[in-house]
Amino acid sequence: MKYSTSPTPSQSNYPRSTSPLPAPANYQPTTASAAVKRYKYIRRLFKFNQMDFEFAAWQMVYLFVSPQKVFRNFNYRKHTKSQFARDDPAFLVLLSVWLFLSSICLGLAMGLTAGKVALFVLFVVFVDFIGAGILVSTFFWYVSNTYLRRDPDGPDVEWGYAFDVHINAFFPPLSLLHFFQIVFFENILFRDGFLSCLVSNTFWLASIIYYLYITFLGYSNLPMLQNARVFLLPLPILFLTYLATLVMGWNLSEMLVYFYMMRVLH
């Protein structure tokens, strides 16, 4: 007598990644509560040997050249690990190191003493990055869950994913404003005239466009949300503001440096 048996699962039933990014190391499908995920993430912050820094570095490159491919990989993570948010803090660690080094370079370019550079770095890391990042992520997390969900009773946006979107969007502006501007610091940015203002404010325009576009990509990537284009609404106002600063001769980079100087010197 023959007994019916369950069909052998086909490999085609399993999700496959279409992302051109290299596959993250050491992944395994898991389902866990938010508290467990948060605990594992924080614990891995102190285990560098378990972090995939190569994959995180590839993500940084793609955030500049093709950010949509980074979020395509977030979809793959949802299928394999049941969460959109990163479970590997390697990207956060690399970003923190990059922020630390670029802030030191900027502080030295500003002519600060060693003690003032250290104070400047502390302000940038703990106030501008961590403090402001938590506030911005929480605001977008609240807005997306309250106003953008297709089904109010359906799945909501993870706070960890909102934070991931923020740090993704934060990386290109950080590189443009804290690192690449140093190349033009003495020769162009702080000279009188229209060219200095144009170069400085164009850096700012590109940085904010990067931030808004990557934020839009991050939230439009979530199937439970709708009307994610709301994150692009500031673009026309941004461009008009950019033109106004050029007409008024307001050098935004010079204003930022003065703000930094006032903060560490007083």
Q: How far apart are the two ends of the chain, measured CA to CA in Å?
A: 89
**pTM of the full predicted structure?**
0.83
CB contact at 8 A, 95 and 172: no
The span from the CA of 127 to the CA of 114, in Å, is: 19
Residue 34: the pLDDT is 63
Provide the pLDDT confidence category of residue 203 given band limits of 50, 70 and 90.
Answer: very high
81-105 mean pLDDT: 89
pLDDT at 182 over 90: no
Rg (C-alpha) for the chain, rounded Å, is 22
Provide the pLDDT confidence category of residue 240 given band limits of 50, 70 and 90.
Answer: very high
Residue 44: the pLDDT is 73
pLDDT at 10 over 50: no
For residues 244 and 253, the model is more confident at 244
63-72 contacts, C-beta under 8 A, 24 or more apart: 63/168, 63/171, 63/172, 63/214, 64/172, 64/175, 67/168, 67/213, 67/214, 67/217, 68/217, 69/19, 69/20, 69/21, 70/21, 70/168, 71/217, 71/218, 71/221, 72/17, 72/18, 72/19, 72/221
pLDDT at 165 over 70: yes
Residue corresponding to tokens 């938010």: 34
Q: How many CB atoms lie within 10 A of CB 194?
A: 9
For residues 20 and 161, the model is more confident at 161
pLDDT at 99 over 70: yes
158-167 mean pLDDT: 94
SS3 149: strand
